[in-house]
């Protein structure tokens, strides 16, 4: 079972990339954010990445363009990004049946909250992990 954010059940959440070529819609409930400091996230987004998530069937592309591309960032997961503006929006672990969505690409993301952080061991030294954000590495082994 996934922890969810109260008040997001059965609600629609629209979002899109920076240029607008990729637009999508989620149906809640949404999970609280996990912040990931792993090397893959930092290489791909430029810094630590964070995401909420929904099951695949609660995610739908609503734009008509074919700008969404998927990149196999490892043998176990892929990343979705806009082929036009480069926004790094989605993560999907192979076979998990869920999609993770970066908070910044949701049009309205004020209702989100943080659950915790993972891969603390890879956290860059130039910004210490916030000790008030729980470390959940033991719960989310790769």
What residues line the site for Zn ion (CB under 5 A)? 17, 19, 21, 36, 38, 41, 82, 84-85
Nearest approach in angstroms of CB 47 to Zn ion is 11
Structural element, H or E, at residue 45? helix 39-45
Exposure class string for 43-73: b at 16+ Cβ within 10 A, else e: ebbeebbbbbbbeeebbeeeeeeebbeeeeb
Q: How wide is the angle at C-alpha 32 spanned by C-alphas 119 and 75, nearest 5°?
A: 45
Nearest approach in angstroms of CB 7 to Zn ion is 27
Q: Which residues pair with 78 in a beta bridge?
A: 72, 92
Cβ closer to Zn ion: 86 or 97? 86
Nearest approach in angstroms of CB 6 to Zn ion is 26
Nearest approach in angstroms of CB 10 to Zn ion is 28
Cβ closer to Zn ion: 111 or 136? 136
Q: How wide is the angle at C-alpha 71 spanned by C-alphas 74 and 52, nearest 5°?
A: 80
Residues 37/122, Cβ–Cβ less than 8 Å: yes
Cβ closer to Zn ion: 85 or 111? 85
Cβ closer to Zn ion: 34 or 112? 34
């Amino acid at each position: 079972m996934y922890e969810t954010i109260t008040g997001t059940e059965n609600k629609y959440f629209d979002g899109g990339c920076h240029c607008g070529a990729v637009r999508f819609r989620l149906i809640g409930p949404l999970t609280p954010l996990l912040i990931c400091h792993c090397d893959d996230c930092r290489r791909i987004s430029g810094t630590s990445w964070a995401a909420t998530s929904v099951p695949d069937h609660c995610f739908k592309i609503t734009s008509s363009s074919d700008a969404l591309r998927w990149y196999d960032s490892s043998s176990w997961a892929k990343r979705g990004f806009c082929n036009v503006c480069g926004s790094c929006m989605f993560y999907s672990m192979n076979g998990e049946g869920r999609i993770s969505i970066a908070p910044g690409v949701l049009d309205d993301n004020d209702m989100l909250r943080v659950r915790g952080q993972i891969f603390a061991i890879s956290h860059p030294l130039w910004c210490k992990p916030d000790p008030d954000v729980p470390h959940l590495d033991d719960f989310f082994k790769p």
